């Protein structure tokens, strides 16, 4: 619940990678940034979980570079302490489970010994942003040119001069439906809601399978290139320093969209053995049918399949509303979401 200052007050709904990029770009401006974040962590899908002596990335697996090399410079600016650049390559497999060495040129695959959440934590540490959490935004209203955000407990935050939406498009659409100007509906909000609601997403159920023995392979991960296998991605967390104790293995198994959609609401206890059987068949190792413990995470809105129509959301800037994230650029990569946030942050620095 922000304090009155002479600075411009900006609210960012969602402390994911795009929001972090906005705050980073505004770190030396006269704009005070307040995040409203529903979870207890930051980084959104660039998240790390700890269990039984293991660390694992159950959403975004690592940070990639960009063609211009800007992400490399960014990573270096965060300090090299604890930085991990995964050496092992990524191979491919097809609908029949045929695993082949990839002919794609290898790129950087960055995370940290403490986990990929370090990306957002280290960036936020060099800003002056305030993070209100866990707070779930429910509605917004503009009065006298300034915005108030109300959460699910009816607590109010603000007033803010501008608000940025960064949650996945379907969640942003829900918020837009509960956004008013002077308590009234606005045609610009109606048009934006329709456009944002139309962005489609891939769903992913991620299964974590732990084994009390090592699994020796020539690759870090394998990806299903034809998208015709029930498994979409399988990675060995032991390839990341300090993630898995020596002599053990932890597999991150991200199921394909069709399988995930069909089984999204089914209990983990019923699906984990099925997934383990698939993994054992894919890797041709019967011992993998019996992990000693499992974990799971469902990502209903894992990756956007297209981007929002900008002509529909740009008029919102007239009333101090903005949007950033992978659904704005139309590509579900952490570094793309971050740089989209930076671009918007620079725009806000020049215009607010």
Residues 142 and 159: beta-carbon distance below 8 Å: no
Task: Work out the pLDDT band at 332, boundaries 50, 70, 90.
Answer: confident
pLDDT of residue 106: 77
Query: Does the pLDDT at position 170 exceed 60?
Result: yes
Query: Does the pLDDT at position 103 exceed 90?
Result: no
pLDDT of residue 330: 83
pLDDT of residue 105: 75
Query: Does the pLDDT at position 86 exceed 90?
Result: yes
Tell me the pLDDT of the chain averaged across its residues. 95
pLDDT of residue 333: 87
Task: Work out the pLDDT band at 294, boundaries 50, 70, 90.
Answer: very high
Residues 229 and 94: beta-carbon distance below 8 Å: yes
Residues 334 and 16: beta-carbon distance below 8 Å: no
List of domains in the chain: 8-44+121-199+307-351 (3.50.50.60), 48-116+201-304 (3.90.660.10)
Query: Does the pLDDT at position 133 exceed 80?
Result: yes
Q: How far apart are CA 327 and CA 126, in angstroms?
A: 26
Q: Write the pLDDT tens digit of every residue in 16-43.
A: 999 999 999 999 999 999 999 999 999 9
Interior/surface letters 77-116, b for 16+ CB within 10 angstroms, e for the rest: ebeeeeebebebbbbbbeeebebeeeeeeeeebbbbebbb
Q: How far apart are CA 9 and CA 163, in angstroms?
A: 9
Task: Work out the pLDDT band at 221, boundaries 50, 70, 90.
Answer: very high
Question: Count of CB atoms within 10 A of residue 123's CB?
Answer: 22
Q: How far apart are CA 252 and CA 295, in angstroms?
A: 9
Region 87-109: mean pLDDT is 92
Percent of the chain at pLDDT exceeding 70: 99
Percent of the chain at pLDDT exceeding 90: 93
Query: DSSP characters for 49-71?
Result: EEETTEEEESS---BPP-TTSHH
Name 28's Cβ contacts closer than 8 Å, sequence gap at least 6: none
Task: Work out the pLDDT band at 4, boundaries 50, 70, 90.
Answer: low
Could you tell me where the beta strands, DSSP code E, fall in the chain? 8-13, 31-36, 48-51, 54-57, 83-85, 90-93, 99-100, 110-112, 130-132, 137-143, 146-151, 156-160, 162-165, 179-181, 201-211, 221-224, 231-236, 249-255, 293-304, 321-323
pLDDT of residue 143: 96
pLDDT of residue 94: 97
């Amino acid at each position: 619940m922000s304090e009155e200052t002479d600075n411009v007050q900006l609210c960012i709904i969602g402390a994911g990678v795009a929001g972090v990029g906005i705050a980073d770009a505004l770190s030396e401006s006269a704009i005070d940034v307040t995040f409203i974040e529903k979870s207890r962590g930051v980084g959104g899908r660039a998240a790390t979980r700890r269990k039984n002596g293991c660390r694992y990335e159950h959403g975004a697996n690592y940070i990639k570079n960009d063609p211009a090399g800007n992400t490399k410079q960014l990573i270096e600016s965060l300090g090299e302490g604890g930085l991990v650049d995964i050496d092992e390559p990524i191979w491919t497999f097809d609908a029949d489970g045929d695993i082949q060495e990839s002919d794609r040129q290898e790129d950087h695959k960055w995370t940290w010994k403490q986990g990929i959440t370090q990306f957002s934590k280290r960036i936020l540490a060099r800003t002056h942003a305030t993070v209100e959490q866990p707070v779930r935004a429910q509605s917004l209203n503009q009065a006298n040119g300034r915005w108030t955000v109300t959460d699910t407990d009816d607590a109010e935050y603000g007033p803010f001069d501008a608000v940025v939406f960064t949650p996945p498009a379907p969640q942003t659409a829900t918020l837009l439906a509960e956004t008013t100007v002077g308590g009234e509906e606005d045609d610009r909000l109606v048009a934006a809601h329709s456009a944002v609601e139309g962005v489609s997403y891939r769903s992913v159920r991620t299964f974590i399978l732990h084994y009390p023995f090592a699994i020796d392979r020539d690759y870090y991960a394998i990806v299903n290139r034809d998208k015709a296998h029930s498994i979409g991605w399988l990675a060995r967390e032991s390839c990341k320093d300090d993630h898995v104790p020596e002599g053990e293995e932890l597999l991150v198994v991200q199921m394909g969209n069709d399988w995930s959609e069909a089984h999204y609401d089914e209990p983990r206890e019923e699906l984990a053995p099925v997934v383990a059987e698939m993994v054992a068949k894919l890797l041709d190792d019967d011992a993998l049918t019996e992990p000693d413990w499992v974990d799971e995470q469902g990502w209903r809105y894992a990756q956007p399949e297209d981007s929002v129509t900008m002509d529909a959301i740009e008029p919102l800037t007239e009333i101090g509303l903005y949007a950033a994230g992978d659904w704005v650029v139309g590509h579900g990569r952490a570094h793309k979401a971050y740089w989209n946030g930076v671009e918007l942050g620079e725009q806000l620095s020049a215009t607010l």
